[in-house]
Chains A and B, each alone.
Chain A
């Protein structure tokens, strides 16, 4: 038995007469880095192509993301926090009363995430009544001025900037005060330039004191062209709206969709189907429309840069293989196999490509930041873009290294040592 195992061991030893050569991963990396740092200037120039390619790649993707996120943020600041509620009760049942309860604004404002809410509608003045600045003066030719009954919550939600005076508030509404807020353009048409004189407007024959003039709103721009009165006074004089009322709700950022789903129940738990709350569109669906044909062109350009970079690396690595023929021959006499040589050169070109990719992605990100700063944008670069960029460099270097590495492995030691 013992003799048998000894025979087996001898047989194995005969099978592998000598322990085969090997090259550990650490040594591959060490030898490659030594090869690269031998000629630092050349190595830097070699990776310039990859730097440009990867840099363009990152910059194009980053700028696209930045530009589209700017559109998103413009969208966010206004639209994403706006919910409008329609009264659709008449579509459901023909004989139903207007569905908004009198305390609609308070009910909705009680919801979490709601900042301001209110009901508004266009007041239909009787046919021969017009808006005037004095009891006898007719409005000048430009057509009728619209009268809007809007609760104080609507004025707040519209985010107006007040040029003179103030907005009316819940007290004015609740006590049926006859007050009005004018858009600046409407005030000018009516000849009202200052509130010092305590002016009034006449809606039909009803006098309303002008308490404020607004010169801009961020939502509901038609308010600027209207005379805005409190709902209570409007109901007292002209009765319930003939058209359907609407509701304007301003929410916190991100709350709009949740709030929109809650509003119908809050308004009328018995008939939530009488209301249709319209949430803002999903920004993600907008973003896909923002892609630009130019981006494809730039990405193509980045691809061309990468190819040029790869050719550059291939060329330099090939030159370096020729130059280092003696070294290759020496390594072969020291026990290196062909594959050890090719792995070393492959590793060198990959490291060059990766370095180019790292520098390129840094420059690309820097470019995006600079452009964003110049344009006053928020720079946005997808993490995947930055993390994959060195990988792109590595693959470029690896592909570029195949041919030189193959050539290196074919170098005959006899030829190499003759030099």
Chain B
């Protein structure tokens, strides 16, 4: 590997998580994974198999009990809580199944919230938020409250919120879980489009149809992660 190439976005070296007992529960067995810039990785598996644990580890919401996790080449295990929080805020964009929008704030305010914890002027935050909303095709609903938006539009706002901070990685947890098929496919097209523009995506889903959209598919079963054959 030459030094000119940027480090992989996510590099897991023997990363696993065991909840201390008694009896100890091995939520995720030590696994190896490399996600490069521009990858579209889907993670599937039955519920309770360890998908959420994987999400929490990659999203820096939880700390592994063994192995090394490099995010953008930074050893996250060596970081203190302050740096982990900052890294989470700046390098990872989260998209949730239940959107997690603030009901009393407009779409722009919801998106701009992602930049509150940075050194950025309010005017610039709002401008970036409008840009991000335009990117997900919501130019016409900028000042709408979430209660007046459809499910698909809400998820687009949530995606815009994840995008606005220009993260290295978009981490989606069942992004289409609360949506009907037609809306879900439009959201997936949006994700495809973003991936085409160079965004690195990790999508966690139990929906096989969604899983097939990914360039690579991982399966987690009983805490063991395996990579399935590359489909494209």
Contact = CB atoms under 8 A, between A and B. Distances in A.
A20 B82 contact: yes
Given A327-B102, A414-B61, A417-B100, A337 B85 contact: yes
A399 B178 CA distance: 41
A334 B165 CA distance: 9
Contact of B118 (A22, A37, A327, A413): A22
Given A31-B116, A38-B104, A326-B100, A337 B82 contact: yes
Contacts of B89: 21, 333-336
B91 A414 contact: no
B103 to A, nearest CB: 8
A18 B105 contact: no
A43 to B, nearest CB: 13
Kindly name the residue among A329, A333, A413, A418 whose own CB sees the greatest number of chain B CB atoms within 10 A: A333
Contact of B105 (A21, A34, A417, A419): A34
Nearest to B101: A330
B114 A21 contact: no
A6 interface: no
A333 B94 contact: yes
A414 B56 contact: yes
B62 interface: yes
Contacts, number: 89
A138 interface: no
Interface in A20-41: 20-24, 26-27, 31, 34, 37-38
Contacts of A18: 74, 83, 86-87, 90-91
A23 B117 contact: yes
Given A17-B79, A17-B83, A335 B61 contact: no
Contacts of B83: 16-18, 20
Contacts of A19: 86, 90, 118-119
Interface residues of B, number: 34
A246 interface: no
From B85, B91, B98, name the one whose CB has the most chain A CB atoms within 10 angstroms: B85
B69 interface: no
Contacts of B173: 417
A340 interface: yes
A86 to B, nearest CB: 77
A20 B79 CA distance: 12
A376 to B, nearest CB: 50
A27 B105 contact: no
Question: Which has the most chain B C-beta neighbours within 10 Å: A331, A337, A417?
Answer: A417
A332 B92 CA distance: 12
Name, among A20, A34, A329, the residue most crowded by chain B CB atoms within 10 Å (CB to CB): A20
Contacts of B88: 332-333, 335
Given A18-B83, A34-B105, A335 B117 contact: yes
A189 B226 CA distance: 125
Contacts of B59: 333
Interface centre among B96, B98, B100 (most CB of A within 10 A): B100
B32 to A, nearest CB: 23
Give the size range of A's interface with the partner.
Answer: 20 to 34
B49 interface: no
Given A17-B74, A337-B85, A22 B117 contact: yes
B96 A21 contact: no
Contacts of A327: 100, 102
B113 interface: yes
A393 to B, nearest CB: 25
Interface in B54-69: 56, 59, 61-62
A334 B104 CA distance: 18
Contacts of B91: 18
A418 B81 CA distance: 21
B105 A340 contact: no
Contact of B96 (A17, A332, A414, A417): A417
Nearest to A327: B102
A280 to B, nearest CB: 63
Interface in A294-348: 326-327, 329-337, 340
Interface string A266-298: 000000000000000000000000000000000
B104 A335 contact: no
B118 A335 contact: yes
Nearest to B173: A417
A332 B119 CA distance: 17
B180 to A, nearest CB: 22
A37 B118 CA distance: 24
B116 A333 contact: no
Nearest to B79: A17
- Most central of A26, A37, A38, A330 by chain B CB within 10 Å: A330
B2 to A, nearest CB: 20
B116 A27 contact: yes
Given A22-B117, A334-B116, A34 B61 contact: no
Q: Which 8 pairs from chain A and chain B are nearest by CB?
A: A335-B89, A21-B117, A335-B117, A38-B104, A18-B86, A330-B100, A20-B86, A333-B94
Given A20-B83, A336-B117, 17 more contacts: A17-B83, A21-B85, A21-B118, A22-B117, A23-B116, A34-B104, A34-B105, A37-B104, A329-B100, A331-B113, A331-B117, A333-B61, A333-B88, A335-B90, A336-B89, A417-B61, A417-B94
8 contacts: A20-B85, A31-B116, A326-B100, A332-B85, A334-B114, A335-B85, A336-B117, A337-B82
